[in-house]
Structure 1
Amino acid sequence: MTQLIQNLTDISPRYDALFVDLWGCVHNGVTAYPEAVKALQSYRKSGGIVILVTNSPRPWKAVSEQLIGFGVPTDAYDAIATSGDSARAAMYLGAVGSDVYFIGAAGEQDVFLAPMDLVAEDAVAINTVPLERAEGIVVTGPEDAMADPDVYRADFLYAKQKGLKLLCANPDIVVDRGETREYCAGAVAALYTEMGGQSLYFGKPHPPIYDLARRRLAQVAQISDDKILCIGDGIGTDIMGGLGEGLDTLFITGGLAAHEFGDDPQSPDPERLKHWLADQNLSPTVAISFLR
């Protein structure tokens, strides 16, 4: 049974490293959660290592700059592993060909920056082209985060008939930016899969991003899996992914699923949490209302 705790320090001494989700745990897409930042800073001061593991479709350096704007200081973490970098590595190894059709919001084309350090020098040259000339599709998110992904149905019917693979740089379906819920790349990829197309995923809960997170961790220290705790508010991403990797997990109840556990996000109802997790058929190691 999942234990409900009050503070990270209730369990943090058991672990040498944390894999921490960002959106819904450390910030809300607009500003940082001060208590979460303080908890991570304190954990690092005690000797722990913090790897931020995010389904952001952007390179880690862009995420780091964004975090500064949100009020998350660099002393709150050691390194960042993004689904964008995981996807970029696969893209530059030729996962969806050389000529690709891009779907994403303005400002997300940094997915096509020069190959990263995890890719060999003989990386595939990537060109963005119209759909009718494409060998594959790269999705960082919908062009309009408020629009139903069904707007891509006609294009996807054509793409499926051509046998194009779709590379999804962010498996999240939705995210809350402040008080506004937005669609993510995962919703676009889910439509393509539903239509019979082949989607390739590189963020949580899929293995490639955990491989990247472990590589980022190894650049700091060698830590065994039994000393790593995964933290996140996405039951189908953060928690499912961590459990699939054989890692302990801490579920943030006050995030995406906060409405499931009562009227006060700060005080989740233990019985409602128990029954909801049973319905999900998932058992996080521990749960907490908010990271603190």
Structure 2
Amino acid sequence: MTQIISSLDEVALNYDVVFCDLWGCLHNGVAAFPAAVAALQRFRAGGGRVVLLTNAPRPWKYVAAQLDRMAVARDAWDLIVSSGDAAQDAMFAGVVGRKVWAIMMDKDEGFFADVPPEWQGAPPIQRVPLDEAEGIVCTGLFDEVNEVPEDYRARFMLARERGLKLLCANPDVVVDLGETRLYCAGALAEFYDDLGGTSLYFGKPHPPIYDLARRKLGVSDDARILAIGDGIATDIRGAAGEGIDALFVSGGLAADQFGDDVENPDPARLAEWLATRSENPRYSIGRLR
């Protein structure tokens, strides 16, 4: 059964590295959570290292700029690794071809424009209409505020008939922007799979993003890593697949499931909710602090 803790400090000495999710743990898309920032600062001050491991479908430097705008102190983290980084690597390797139909918003332009140094000499990726595409690259919906996955049915059925694979740059299904819940690329990828298409995933809970984080941080195989996140199907399932401990932030996406006090989840409700999802994170906490 998961152990409910009140502070990261309670278990910090057991770990060398933290893989911390962003949305729902460190911020809500609008503002940072000061207590969470302070918790990571204390972990680093005690000798730990922090990787912000996010399913944001953009290269890490764009994520860093967003955190700067939210006034997240730079001394709260050592490294940012995004699903955008892992998915970019796969895209420029040509896993869905070099002519792609791109499902994206303007904010994700850097995914295509900012070519990593190791791919500078590779043939370019061309964005083309669906009927000319060799594959699909999805960083999100065209209009995340007003669209739902069902709006893509006709186009996805055409893509499926043509045998196109979909590269998903963000396996998250939904996020909360302040009080507004938005669909992410993961929702479209799952919908495409349900229609009989094939989606390729590069963020949590899938191995490529964890492999990339370990390589960039330069940690040994026996490093003691704690994964922190509020996504049961991404952060917690991904940690289990990697064989690392997890701290579930119950006050994120599933905050309404565990009682009226977000900071203090009801133990019985939490245990039942986790059991129905066949997940057993080592620790849980209301909000990261």
Q: After the TM superposition, which residues 66-215 of structure 1 pair with which residues of structure 2 at under 5 Å, given as runs? A: 66-117=66-117, 119=118, 122-146=121-145, 147-215=147-215
Q: Give distance in 2, aligned partners of 1:10 and 1:24.
A: 21
What is the Cα deviation at residue 225 of structure 1? 4.4
Amino acid aligned to 1:112: F
Q: Give distance in 2, aligned partners of 1:193 and 1:124.
A: 29
Aligned to 1:243: 240
Aligned to 1:257: 254
Amino acid aligned to 1:211: D
What is the Cα deviation at residue 266 of structure 1? 1.1
What is the Cα deviation at residue 265 of structure 1? 0.6
What is the Cα deviation at residue 120 of structure 1? 5.1
Q: Give distance in 1, aligned partners of 2:37 and 2:284.
A: 18
What is the Cα deviation at residue 123 of structure 1? 2.7
TM-score, scaled relative to structure 1? 0.96
Give 5+ residue unaligned stretches, structure 2. none
Q: Deviations over 1:137-194 (max 9, x none)?
A: 0000001113211111111111111100100000000000111100000011111111
Q: Give distance in 2, aligned partners of 1:142 and 1:162.
A: 21
Aligned to 1:64: 64
What is the Cα deviation at residue 114 of structure 1? 4.0
Amino acid aligned to 1:103: I
Aligned to 2:4: 4
Instruction: Tell me the C-alpha RMSD between the 2 structures.
Output: 1.1
Q: Contact between 1:41 and 1:76, CA under 8 Å: does it hold in 2?
A: yes
What is the Cα deviation at residue 223 of structure 1? 4.0
What is the Cα deviation at residue 226 of structure 1? 5.1
Q: Contact between 2:264 and 2:285, CA under 8 Å: does it hold in 1?
A: no
Q: Give distance in 2, aligned partners of 1:268 and 1:123.
A: 50
Correspondence for 1:281 among 254, 271, 278: 278
Q: Give distance in 2, aligned partners of 1:92 and 1:233.
A: 30
What is the Cα deviation at residue 10 of structure 1? 0.4
What is the Cα deviation at residue 121 of structure 1? 5.4
Query: For 1:107, what is the secondary structure of its paired residue?
Result: helix
Q: Give distance in 1, aligned partners of 2:229 and 2:156.
A: 32
Amino acid aligned to 2:130: L
**Residue 114 and residue 145 in structure 1: after superposition, are their counterparts in 2 closer, same or farther (change >3 A)?**
closer
Q: Give distance in 2, aligned partners of 1:6 and 1:17.
A: 19
Give 5+ residue unaligned stretches, structure 1. none
Aligned to 2:28: 28
Q: Give distance in 1, aligned partners of 2:4 and 2:223.
A: 20
Q: Contact between 1:141 and 1:184, CA under 8 Å: does it hold in 2?
A: yes
Q: Give distance in 1, aligned partners of 2:6 and 2:244.
A: 21
Tell me which stretches of 4 or more aligned residues in structure 1 moved more than 4 Å. none
Q: Give distance in 1, aligned partners of 2:53 and 2:62.
A: 14
What is the Cα deviation at residue 135 of structure 1? 0.3
